[in-house]
Structure 1
């Protein structure tokens, strides 16, 4: 996620970090070069380059804009849902740290149980980051990080059977583990269920065909201004297409992705601080304006 102060209006025109220009500049350059060639062909060889009516481009452009807005809205919903689920995990982890304070009054056994629960949650969120980012092996039907929550649940079950934890305390602590599990399951759903490929394919093809044909409809209307206008239109359509691709994968390492690594680091700091530790990990910081 891009973390920086909002640039000035002039800087907005020249800022590259966080923009999609690095991904789409080849297509934009091709459209501008094609536009210049079409305009030159109309000027020097009028019968060689075909002329198209510009009216249909307005209708197609409106339809394409609506379709782009629909897909980007769907992709942003995925991004925002991912951020909400990690926010829920932060709240559940903090709740567990607070709720487990009652165990400190049970002596060494209670302290060991509380530390075991919190260490299991720390390991869980760390492994979850690797799983969602594809660093650790994962399949659609197997979710290895869940073993950490099962470990914590087993500790609670043993403590309950031994009388260290009451039924009410077990229900409360297990409820926080359940919230962590539900949030992770939602993240797993987002990761394994992409936006239907047909939407992406249709939009990608239509945007490219539209931008490649655009110079033939505008060459006679705006002349040598066609490369600039066509380049701006191409930057807008190709850029929105690329931005949708980034938001569709909110757990990736793109600069627009949800900073789940930083959130997991913040959870670890909160939980270790709740244990009374003073040698805490460093706070997550952005690198070159990007927080991962």
Structure 2
């Protein structure tokens, strides 16, 4: 996740880190090169390379903008849902910290809370496609077994055990929601349609500009291509909120925040430091 203050007006045009220009520069060069070629060919062979009426491009551009907006909205909803699910996991882990206050000072409380610490880190690795030998579900299962044992030993009342089970169930449900987002992308046919349409529109656009703008056509076509390809690339990044791209969720930071809260509640002092942004990116 990119964390930085809004740059100055000049900085807006110079910022590279956090900009989709790193992803779409090849497409922009292609469109600008095609535009230069169209302008030159139209001036040299005007009867062969003809200009087109701009009106259809305006209508297609409006339709494409609407489609891109819908896709970006859907992808942002996925990104925001991922943030809410991790917020739920962090909040619920703190609920468990309070719900186990009656076990303060016992090895069972430490065992249960450390299981949730492991859950957070394992979930982060799993969602990024780097699972370890132990799963996040296994950590929740360990905590559930401990709750059952303490209930059998009459060290937890029925009400206390039910509250802990509900908290563990919420964490399991949040993890399942994250796995659904990670494993179910936006339908490929929808994405492919937008990719194709954006390419065809931007490559054909110079033919609509060439008569009116002349040698300014490459600049105009490049700006339009930046908007369309940029929105398309941004949607690709938001679509997969647990990837390693620069706009993905900072799962390491979330898991570390969970660890700091839980181990701090146990009285530990050798707590890890919260990750800090490196080159404006928080992981």
TM-score (norm 1): 0.94
Question: SS where residue 9 of structure 2 aligns?
Answer: coil
Contact 1:117–1:155 (Cα < 8 Å) also in 2: yes
Which residue of 1 is the match for residue 254 of structure 2?
A: 263
Contact 2:75–2:235 (Cα < 8 Å) also in 1: yes
Which residue of 2 is the match for residue 205 of structure 1?
A: 196
Contact 1:266–1:284 (Cα < 8 Å) also in 2: no
> How far apart are the structure 2 equivalents of 1:257 and 1:175?
29
Which residue of 2 is the match for residue 113 of structure 1?
A: 108
Which residue of 1 is the match for residue 88 of structure 2?
A: 88
Question: SS where residue 201 of structure 1 aligns?
Answer: helix
Which residue of 2 is the match for residue 16 of structure 1?
A: 16
Q: Quick check: 1:188 aligned with 2:183?
A: no
> How far apart are the structure 1 equivalents of 2:41 and 2:132?
55
> How far apart are the structure 2 equivalents of 1:18 and 1:97?
37
Q: Which runs of 5+ in 1 are unaligned?
A: none
Moved over 6 A (4+): none
User: 1:72-113 deviations in whole A, cap 9, x for unaligned?
Assistant: 000000000000000011100111111111112xxx6xx111
Query: How far 1:137 sits from its partner (Å)?
Result: 7.0
How many equivalent residue pairs?
283
> How far apart are the structure 2 equivalents of 1:22 and 1:189?
29
Query: How far 1:228 sits from its partner (Å)?
Result: 0.2
> How far apart are the structure 1 equivalents of 2:48 and 2:176?
60
Contact 1:160–1:166 (Cα < 8 Å) also in 2: yes
Which residue of 1 is the match for residue 59 of structure 2?
A: 59
> How far apart are the structure 2 equivalents of 1:17 and 1:28?
18
Contact 2:122–2:132 (Cα < 8 Å) also in 1: no
Matches within 5 A, 1:1-292: 1-104=1-104, 111-136=106-131, 144-292=135-283
Query: How far 1:48 sits from its partner (Å)?
Result: 2.5
TM-score (norm 2): 0.97
Contact 1:86–1:263 (Cα < 8 Å) also in 2: yes
Question: SS where residue 10 of structure 1 aligns?
Answer: helix
User: 1:44-87 deviations in whole A, cap 9, x for unaligned?
Assistant: 22123132221100000000000000000000000000000000
> How far apart are the structure 2 equivalents of 1:137 and 1:192?
18
Q: Which runs of 5+ in 2 are unaligned?
A: none
User: 255-264 or 47-56, which moves further after superposition?
Assistant: 47-56
Query: How far 1:144 sits from its partner (Å)?
Result: 3.2
User: 32-41 or 201-210, which moves further after superposition?
Assistant: 32-41
Contact 1:72–1:244 (Cα < 8 Å) also in 2: yes
Question: SS where residue 48 of structure 1 aligns?
Answer: coil
Query: How far 1:147 sits from its partner (Å)?
Result: 1.2
Contact 2:83–2:249 (Cα < 8 Å) also in 1: yes
> How far apart are the structure 2 equivalents of 1:137 and 1:273?
25
User: 1:125-149 deviations in whole A, cap 9, x for unaligned?
Assistant: 11101110001179xxxx9321110
> How far apart are the structure 2 equivalents of 1:116 and 1:137?
20
Question: SS where residue 35 of structure 2 aligns?
Answer: helix
CA RMSD of aligned residues (A): 1.3
